[in-house]
Chains A and B, each alone.
Chain A
């Protein structure tokens, strides 16, 4: 129940937040705030709390632009074709994080750093 609620909420949040962020490429980046696999396990509130906790410990990453840049890297230069491609790229990035041990333990959750950043971005967008 909570998971579905999150999926609805996050889709709504992403759509709503694209309006003020419509300047250029940001429009297609808000999918970056959704850790795809993890969002099937926990609700939006948990994602936001994890995001806030991550931002507290990584203050140098505590801005939407910085997080987008870290998440999307070079893809901000050449805009990916669509949300699906971004999502696929981030899933692969998260998996690779796990493989290379690029892990963040946030509020007890053992996450890839990519997922932790996605949570952080989500918490910024939601606030």
Chain B
């Protein structure tokens, strides 16, 4: 059954077009053109349902996974070992929510602040400014109430017992888990059936054109494998293609600006950030413990805690923000690192990851465990040398491929070591257990990283936000500096990464952008 035909029968106003099927050189026009239909693009479009404004939503892929589309994301990586780029993001309607695991937690207040020990830190607004949008974003991601205080969950379930640590040093950082919401299926009907939202699939934006003095975007060019090329005009344009592709698109739009659009100061693509996700230590107890508050059964658990490091301790030791999660040691020792499992080949990758999951659930003991592996998720310090650039090689649609140079600094390694010393100290004070750092953290003069070092598939920071045009690409409203109607949506705007997975924050940031756009057109948010 053809989905488009089906929808058309039910709703003659359905607004979906496969851009391969329309006449070559079609001119598409709307009020707002959203480039990319992932968590950010779809969230933005949903905000404009029945608004009376015509929204053009452009998606490069279709509704299903397509290896040919994924190949457009292929690119070389240098520096710190990284996942194959074509496998780290999904290029179809719904984007990477098609395979995300649903981890959600807001950034901490300290993440937004200027920290003198973290170069280039400091957002142009604070956590409380984003709180109302976080609360709204919870709904998009099918989460519970905007409540991340451990006490809230412990009130409802007395078996969620905290480790007896001083919360002013090591606290319980709560996570909520989305089902996970697959935006491609969850919101497809809402988008396709909306009379004012026109979705074009197989519409890959390959160039953004501006007016003569490059103060406003005039149109974008879309291409597809049917050999068709179309133009899209709108009053406002929003790039929501993910951090690597947002930067790539700006850099590749270099017909009028040789360095790329919005890149007069050579900032586009720089400050690429990932979360380091890596096994780091072990904790040993004298009595077995279930650690129910901290455990997770993927796709079943609704919330859990990780160990967070307090703002006070981060300031005291001048370290980055990071959290530690627990896996029973006997299970963790059987599991390979994600960086070794996550291959370019989809079938092999799925087989590897299924094996990982089986090992995680096999041999679980109800009586608890004496030892656990501590697994870190830590922010990467913003680093201008960690960056996305263009390759000379082009993809099948003629667009230069993106290249990633992922580079870490000494601060990440020092922070990781200190995080576990702080946790170890709390384990000692409480007489709960003792912590052992893994070998790669034991020598404080060693700044190298082991082979199993990996990221969380979290791409952030390539069009970072700020007021200083020499250190940022967009302003506090996510508008590209110097270009009146071009916006970036998503994690590319992050100034710092915090410890949490980025999806909740990028949706919140998108809702904030939507309110800004509504204010610009005179609509009530």
Query: Once bound together, how far apart are the Cα atoms of A37 and B421, in whole Å?
Result: 18
> Within 8 Å CB of B439, what residues of A?
108
> Which of these binds chain A: B140-148, B353-361, B378-386, B424-432?
B424-432
**Nearest-CB residue, chain A, relative to B423:** A110
B345 at interface by CB-CB < 8 Å: no
Q: Mark A3-41, 1 if CB is under 8 A from B, else 0.
A: 000000000000000000000000000000000011011
Shortest CB–CB separation between residue B432 and chain A, in angstroms? Answer: 10
Question: Which A89-127 residues sit within 8 Å CB-CB of chain B?
Answer: 94-95, 97-99, 101, 103, 105, 107-112
Q: Which residues of B contact A37 (CB under 8 A)?
A: 286, 431, 434
Give CA–CA (A97, B370) in the complex, Å: 24
Do the beta carbons of A110 and B428 come within 8 Å of each other? yes
Q: Which residues of B contact A38 (CB under 8 A)?
A: 434
Complex Cα spacing A66 to B437, Å: 28
Residues of B within 8 A of A109 (CB): 434-437
Binary interface profile of B, 388-430, with partner A (CB < 8 Å = 1, else 0)? 0000000000000000000000000000000011011101110
**SS of A interface (majority):** mixed
- Decide: A110 near B434, CB < 8 A? Known: A41-B286, A103-B424, A105-B421: yes
Determine if B441 and A108 form an interchain contact, defined as CB atoms under 8 angstroms apart. yes
Q: How close is B168's CB to chain A, nearest CB, in angstroms?
A: 13
Least CB distance from B135 to A in Å reads 38
Are A110's CB and B420's CB within 8 A? yes
Inside 8 A of A97's CB, which chain B residues have their CB?
428
Q: Give the distance in Å from the alpha carbon of A40 to the alpha carbon of B285 in the complex.
A: 9
For the complex, is B438 an interface residue (Cβ under 8 Å from A)?
A: yes
Residue of A nearest to B435 (CB): A110
Asked whether any CB of chain A lies closer than 8 Å to the CB of B284, the reply is: yes
Chain B's closest residue to A98 (CB) is: B428
The count of residues in chain B whose C-beta lies closer than 8 Å to any C-beta of chain A is 23
Size class of the contact patch on chain A: 10 to 19
A108 engages B425 (CB within 8 Å): no
The answer to whether B421 and A110 have CB atoms under 8 Å apart is yes
Residues of B within 8 A of A94 (CB): 428
Smallest CB separation, B164 vs chain A (Å): 13
Bound-state Cα–Cα, A109 to B425, Å? 11
| A98 CA to B428 CA, complexed, in Å | 6
B433 proximal to A (CB < 8 A): yes
Q: Is B442 an interface residue (CB 8 A)?
A: yes
Chain A 64-108, CB-CB to B under 8 Å as 1, else 0, gives 000000000000000000000000000000110111010101011
Query: Shortest beta-carbon distance, A59 to chain B, in Å?
Result: 18
B425 touches A98 (CB 8 A): yes
Cα distance, A84 to B282, chains bound together (Å): 30
| Complex Cα–Cα for A41 and B370 (A) | 9
Find chain A residues with CB under 8 A from B441 CB: 108
Across the interface, A108 reaches (CB within 8 A) one of B286, B427, B429, B437, namely B437
Nearest chain B CB to A13 CB, angstrom units: 21
What chain B residues lie within 8 Å of A101 (beta carbons)?
425
Which B residues are CB-close (under 8 A) to A42? 284
Q: Cβ of B433 and Cβ of A41 under 8 Å apart?
A: yes
**Set of chain B residues within 8 Å of A112, measured between Cβ atoms:** 428
9 nearest CB pairs, A to B: A110-B424, A98-B428, A108-B437, A40-B286, A98-B429, A41-B284, A108-B436, A110-B435, A108-B442
7 A-B pairs with C-beta separation under 8 A: A41-B284, A41-B434, A94-B428, A103-B425, A105-B424, A105-B437, A109-B434
Q: What would 13 more interface pairs be, CB under 8 Å, given A37-B286, A105-B437?
A: A41-B284, A41-B285, A97-B428, A99-B429, A108-B281, A108-B439, A108-B442, A109-B434, A109-B435, A109-B436, A110-B427, A110-B428, A110-B435
